[in-house]
Amino acid sequence: MPVRFGGAGGGGGTGPAGPAGPPGPSAGNVLYPSGDTAFTTDTAAINASLNANRTTILAPGDWYVGGAGITQNDRTLRGSGYGTVINGPVGGTTLTLSGPGQCTVSDMTFKGGDYAIQVNGAYDTDFKNLHITGQKLGGVRIDGDLATEQHWTDVIFRGVGGVAFGLYRTTTIYTGSQYLDRVRIVEPAAGATHGFLFTSTAAQPSLNIAFLTQCVADNYAGMACEVVNCAQVFMAQCWFAINGAGPAGSAALKVTGGFMQSYTGCYTYSGMTASSSPSVVVNGGARGVDIGGGHVFDGTPTTVAIGLAGAAVGGVTVDTYQNYCGGTFTDRADLLNVPARALPGVTNTRGEEVMSRLFCTATPPLTSGTLVLSYFTAGKTELISTIECMVNTAASGGTYAGMGLYTVAANGNLTLVAKGEATTLWSSAFQPVNGFNTKIGLTAPYQKVAGQRYAVGALFVGTTAPALVSAVPSSGTPGSNGAVTGTTLGALSGQKTGQTTLGTVGTTTHTAASLSGWSWMPWFVLN
């Protein structure tokens, strides 16, 4: 095995002179590949050099290494760029770090083998400018109970099976963090389960896990990024995406348990068609999780943007976001906070209007037994307990009166989710907003969710129906506003005849086909 001491191109040393190498540093032990494909000669030479020298430089070429290790402090293993290809053995790990501090591994390609790098204990260690490709079980595996303050910069994974980047903890003890900058996991191998996995089996969430900036895990058929029972996780400007081939429950980003986590300015995409596979899932009683500003949810039209079925009540904050999923924003209505967006008609200081009062120029009378509806998309998340309207002409002889809130499904079907009923409703005209006969208390408070499509309905049964202040969203011809049929912009208003009550919350539904257009859009405000 030729070994040369001194700078590239220099002489000296105990071995014969090797071929001229690329320009390199002025000091360091420069090694050249032996050509032995049995993983013996190259492995022994690298281990000997790492033990004897602070810096080991690997020349370009194909190396065959299995079981190389860094066990001493202040060691640098540096390749000569991606042309330094470290081939790993099937059934083994190419490079292991066990216990050293202040070490650097950089500028090379790890190819094949079961794992490229395992870190069983190391501190203040840098990994940078690495290409990791073709490993069977995983790219990087870290014992997070022992490995502290690891820095990974400009690392690319391609065609890696299993878990590309995995950190595993068993204790809650503060051990230091993983710092990942521009770590990109693309083109995963068939059957790969995770891009990034940070997981702990400790009785309580493990502390100080990871900081990720501009990292990518793309085109996974499983979990692009999963965080389990961890605390102090901070990710910014990351890209996590899954395709449509994974099992039910797959997610671009999944958080199970833990607390004190922030995901800011990220993009998550779910190619799954099942609503059980949202872009983002938060469960396991997780709390203190912030989906930070600028997050973009994306996916197929039936996908839920964020699934909160198992999150702690009030444990998730969603800041400013965009939702391109086309389906429901969230599967549960108790987000800690979703700030209002600048939508027309949103009254941010007091409840939320279905449309601005500036547009209300009509006072059409209701018809006894006909449910009338105004559709809108919620601009903010809040707990509501009343629905209000404005009355131009009072009702009389009423036997039933009520107002209700419906969710609108992607196919246009309505489900009653909240209601209030009182025969005295609308019995006085020209009442001020918040007047005794212009609002109704809901039978139970309801958490309205930003981004969800809703319809507010009013129903009167009796002799003289009230006239409600309304907007005119069309030319006035019944049905021409495309309320239920004939428009790609979504319903604005609608009606359904033959009703005696609003029905039962959570049970009563109306199909889109059973509704017809109504030429007015009653004004409502939800508080």
Dist CA 194 CA 191 (whole Å): 9
Query: Comparing C-alpha atoms, which of 390, 366, 372, 392 is closest to residue 493?
Result: 372
Dist CA 522 CA 362 (whole Å): 9
Cβ proximity of 316 and 259 under 8 Å: no
Cβ proximity of 36 and 61 under 8 Å: no
Alpha-carbon dihedral of residues 113, 115, 116, 122, nearest 10 degrees?
Answer: -150
Dist CA 245 CA 274 (whole Å): 11
| 417 alpha-carbon distance from chain centroid | 27
Query: Comparing C-alpha atoms, which of 120, 42, 31 is closest to residue 87?
Result: 42
Q: Give the residue carrying structure tokens 């996995």.
A: 197
Per-residue pLDDT of the chain (527 residues; tens, 9 = 90+): 333 323 333 333 344 444 445 444 435 799 999 999 999 999 999 999 999 999 999 999 999 999 999 999 999 999 999 999 999 999 999 999 998 999 999 999 999 999 999 999 888 999 999 999 999 999 999 999 987 899 999 999 999 999 999 999 999 988 889 999 999 999 999 989 999 999 999 999 999 999 999 999 999 998 999 999 999 999 999 999 999 888 888 999 999 999 999 999 999 999 887 766 788 999 998 988 999 888 998 888 777 888 887 888 778 888 878 877 766 777 765 565 554 443 333 334 457 888 887 778 889 999 999 999 999 988 877 788 899 998 989 999 999 999 999 999 888 899 999 999 999 899 888 765 555 578 899 998 888 888 788 999 999 999 999 999 998 875 433 344 444 444 445 678 899 999 999 999 999 999 999 998 888 999 999 98
β-bridge mates for residue 493, sequence order: 374
Residue extents of the structural domains in the chain: 1-136, 160-339, 352-526
Which amino acid is present at 206? S
Query: Comparing C-alpha atoms, which of 444, 439, 448, 237 is closest to residue 340?
Result: 448
Dist CA 57 CA 49 (whole Å): 9
Phi, psi of 45 (to 5 degrees): -65, -40
Cβ proximity of 470 and 348 under 8 Å: no
What's the DSSP call for residue 365?
A: B
Architecture label for domain 352-526: Sandwich (2.60)
Which amino acid is present at 427? S
Task: Report pTM.
Answer: 0.64
β-bridge mates for residue 439, sequence order: 388
Dist CA 118 CA 345 (whole Å): 56
Dist CA 194 CA 167 (whole Å): 12
Cβ proximity of 456 and 471 under 8 Å: no
Dist CA 261 CA 406 (whole Å): 33
What burial class does residue 333 get, using C-beta atoms within 10 Å of its C-beta: 0-12 exposed, 13-18 middle, 19+ buried? middle
